[in-house]
Amino acid sequence: MNKKEQLKSDLDKITKSIHTFLQSFEYCFYLNFPKSEESLDEKHLIYITKSGFFSFARYAFWRVTILELHKLLNDNKETDKFNIHHLIRKLRPGGFYQSLKVSESKIDEWQFELEKQKKSIKEVSKLRLKLYAHTDNDYKNVIDNSDLTLSATEELINVIINIIFDIYQIIFDTHYIFKPIHKKETLRKIINDIISKRESERNKIMEKFKRN
């Protein structure tokens, strides 16, 4: 296996994590801020908050997002071999992939973008420990009491995606498209169908009550 093939193997493992947290974050974001076009859908938010299943799903998707992000951002090549910091070092002159000749200016650019995300990366690490230590059933508090906002998480995700996109473009001359397999509209439709069915059943009961 040559260096290019080895890099492709490394990237395959990284992209699996990216696809996992992209899908989880897509659903997590909607379950926290269910929007109809640009406005908040209050009916959906009330239902999600009261629903035991969707409250837990909101927490579970957030948990997966954080754990997968930590895997890629934890700068420890012993425990997280395929983290993005380690990959960048391997692409530098003197690194394992130096023969692939990625320009130092481009690598410095990636490093600078990650440096700007230092606070969010630290929060991901702290939150990962909290998630593992969390034992009660108050799932909502895990998100509400986090110093890492969903918008900051989205910004951090975009930095990771842009770096990996650049690597695919530079080394393999290809545009790797990162997007969730299932869009939030799928989740919106499921919740909408449940609410509509509940309202329909409630109306039928009311009509029956009036007739009696």
pLDDT, mean of residues 168-193: 89
Of the chain, the percentage scoring pLDDT greater than 90 comes to 55
pLDDT, mean of residues 77-105: 88
- Alpha-carbon distance 25 to 153, whole Å? 9
Reported confidence tier of residue 152, pLDDT bands at 50, 70, 90: very high
The reply to whether 204 falls in a domain is no
The reply to whether 118 falls in a domain is yes
The reply to whether 207 falls in a domain is no
Q: Is 183 exposed, middle or buried (0-12, 13-18, 19+ CB in 10 A)?
A: middle
Higher pLDDT, 16 or 181: 16
Higher pLDDT, 160 or 134: 160
Backbone φ and ψ for 139, nearest 5 degrees, come out as -60, -35
Return the H-helix or E-strand segment holding 39. strand 39-40
Q: Which residues pair with 36 in a beta bridge?
A: 39
DSSP one-letter code for 40: E
Domain that holds residue 140: 3-180
Say if residue 49's pLDDT is above 50. Answer: yes
- Which of 17-21, 162-166, 198-202 has the weakest average pLDDT? 198-202
How far lies 150's CA from each of 107, 124, 164, in Å? 27, 11, 21
- Alpha-carbon distance 55 to 73, whole Å? 27
The reply to whether 200 falls in a domain is no
Say if residue 196's pLDDT is above 70. Answer: yes
* DSSP code string of 155-195: HHHHHHHHHHHHHHHHHH--------SS-HHHHHHHHHHHH
- Which of 4-13, 67-76, 89-98, 197-206 has the weakest average pLDDT? 197-206
Give the model confidence (pLDDT) of 6-24 as tens digits.
Answer: 999 999 999 999 999 999 9
What residues contact 44, with CB distance under 8 A and at least 6 apart? 34, 36, 188, 191, 192, 195
Q: Which pLDDT value is given to residue 146? A: 65
Give the model confidence (pLDDT) of 118-131 as tens digits.
Answer: 999 999 998 888 77
The reply to whether 59 falls in a domain is yes
Q: Total domain count for the chain?
A: 1
- Alpha-carbon distance 146 to 144, whole Å? 6
Say if residue 136's pLDDT is above 50. Answer: no
The reply to whether 209 falls in a domain is no
The reply to whether 205 falls in a domain is no
- Which of 37-41, 76-80, 104-108, 147-151 has the weakest average pLDDT? 76-80
- Alpha-carbon distance 139 to 55, whole Å? 7
- Alpha-carbon distance 20 to 208, whole Å? 47
Say if residue 210's pLDDT is above 60. Answer: yes
Reported confidence tier of residue 142, pLDDT bands at 50, 70, 90: low
CA dihedral angle for residue 94, residue 165, residue 153, residue 35, rounded to 10 degrees:
180
Give the model confidence (pLDDT) of 67-87 as tens digits.
Answer: 999 999 988 766 667 889 999
Q: Are residues 156 and 106 in contact, defined by beta-carbon separation less than 8 angstroms? A: no
b/e 110-144 (16+ beta carbons within 10 angstroms → b): bbeebeebeebbebbeebbeebeeeeeeebeebbe
The reply to whether 46 falls in a domain is yes
